[in-house]
Structure 1
Amino acid sequence: MRSSALFAATLCLVLVAQGDCKSHLKTRRLAKVKLVTFDWKNCGQPDAPATLTTLELSPDPISIPGDLSAAASGSTSVELASPLALNVTLEKEVAGFWVTVPCLEELGSCHYPDACDLLDQLIPPGQDCPEPLHTYGLPCHCPFKAGSYSLPQSKFYIPYVDLPSWLTNGNYRLQGVLGAQGKELGCLKVALSLNSAR
């Protein structure tokens, strides 16, 4: 997305790709999920090529299913092209300790050799980018050209989701590190809390 490829890859993986991977895992349909806390920060070097500048989500808390309003901006000083490695570390708070969630069926703390391939699986090449990206003329496939990008305040509808049984209630920390040719291009940390009901 034009809110930097780091934002695109991270947001797609957090909100969409997990739903795509869920078919391989034991899941349960939940009546409602609430995202009760959400925080983010860049975790790369100060001169990292890809950074997220702003990310605003509302309402607080966010209900799933429900409407979500989001705005974001970021930049990349280099073109981000395939192969674009993505290393994800997911931790869950258990009895006051942070426990790393292993990679299970491509969900959890996983290494993805090419985030561009993940985007192509979610939105097949040749298909229009989903709204509101299409309206604003924002790309959703690699390569992402160097530049400063922004997604204006936009509304999304988040449908019902089936979640793995271990990903229903609790506090989570997610770190995504984007890299190419052995070099780190950007890093983003997200902290969130989920509260769900059957």
Structure 2
Amino acid sequence: MDKVLLLTLVLVVFISPVRSSTSGLKVSTAQLLGFDWKNCGSPDAPAVLKTLNLSPDPVFIPGDIQASASGSTSVELAAPLAVNVTLEKEVAGFWVRIPCVEELGSCHYEDACDLLTQLVPLGQDCPEPLRTYGLPCRCPFKAGSYSLPLSDFSLPIMELPSWLTNGNYRVRGVLGMQDKELGCLTVSLSLRSY
């Protein structure tokens, strides 16, 4: 994934980090069996994700996906909003950590709010479908509930390193503010490119 897509997916999901998994498929230690997500942080985290759905499985690049999510946050999410991402790829039955190269991979983002403002500058409308559903795309994210109904997204042709194109992946993201962990999310998915 290019860094804009990866960051956008991580941050949309982290509008409210997770509380419970709704996927029927589970991840074993060495083999991915399908899309899955789960909470990897404290059960009393200030922000919680209640649902997250993604199809098709695997995700094809380029291609179309459908996604929905819902959650809430009991605290305002404002700058500086740190995100620590760990990206792993399954290689020969083992999970291998992908290092941070050009802000892609296992990276620490000191202020995701600043990155969001770079993606969608102040004065510019939020992209669809966020605009249609009245969802914010920049900080601060006020305390409250958020819901993205099932929506269509198109994944464009992306120039990816060959080692990042096809395979099973695990992404772990930890959201924090002022040295306090607000939530932790693990997402597992398969990517396929044409």
> TM-score, structure 1 length as denominator?
0.78
Percent of aligned pairs with the same amino acid:
75
Find the counterpart in structure 1 of residue 151 from structure 2: 154
Find the counterpart in structure 1 of residue 130 from structure 2: 133
Partner Cα separation in structure 1 for residue 121 and residue 41 of structure 2: 30
1:124-166 Cα shifts (integer Å, max 9, x gaps)? 1110000111112211100000111111122222221221222
Find the counterpart in structure 2 of residue 171 from structure 1: 168
Find the counterpart in structure 1 of residue 141 from structure 2: 144
Instruction: Provide the aligned C-alpha RMSD in A.
Output: 2.1
Question: Does the Cα contact within 8 Å between 2:61 and 2:193 map onto a contact in 1?
Answer: no
Find the counterpart in structure 2 of residue 181 from structure 1: 178
Q: Which has the higher helix share?
A: 1
1:150-194 Cα shifts (integer Å, max 9, x gaps)? 111222222212212220122211100000111100111011122
Partner Cα separation in structure 2 for residue 60 and residue 97 of structure 1: 21
| Structure 1 unaligned residues grouped into runs of 5+ | 1-6, 14-35
- Secondary structure at the residue paired with 1:160? coil
The structure, 1 or 2, with the larger RCO (C-alpha pairs under 8 Å, 6+ apart) is 1
- Secondary structure at the residue paired with 1:135? coil
Find the counterpart in structure 2 of residue 59 from structure 1: 56
- Secondary structure at the residue paired with 1:166? helix
Q: 1:12 to 1:78 in 2, by over 3 A?
A: closer
| Structure 2 unaligned residues grouped into runs of 5+ | 1-6, 14-32
Give 4+ residue runs of structure 1 displaced > 6 Å after superposition: none
Partner Cα separation in structure 2 for residue 170 and residue 58 of structure 1: 16
Partner Cα separation in structure 1 for residue 9 and residue 167 of structure 2: 24
Partner Cα separation in structure 1 for residue 168 and residue 56 of structure 2: 19
Q: 1:12 to 1:51 in 2, by over 3 A?
A: closer
1:46-75 Cα shifts (integer Å, max 9, x gaps)? 000112110112234433322222211011
Question: Does the Cα contact within 8 Å between 2:59 and 2:65 map onto a contact in 1?
Answer: yes
Aligned length: 169
Partner Cα separation in structure 2 for residue 70 and residue 120 of structure 1: 23
Q: 1:8 to 1:54 in 2, by over 3 A?
A: farther
Residue 87 (structure 1) aligned to one of 69, 81, 84:
84
- Secondary structure at the residue paired with 1:116? helix
Amino acid at match of 2:151: S
Q: Which has the higher strand share?
A: 1
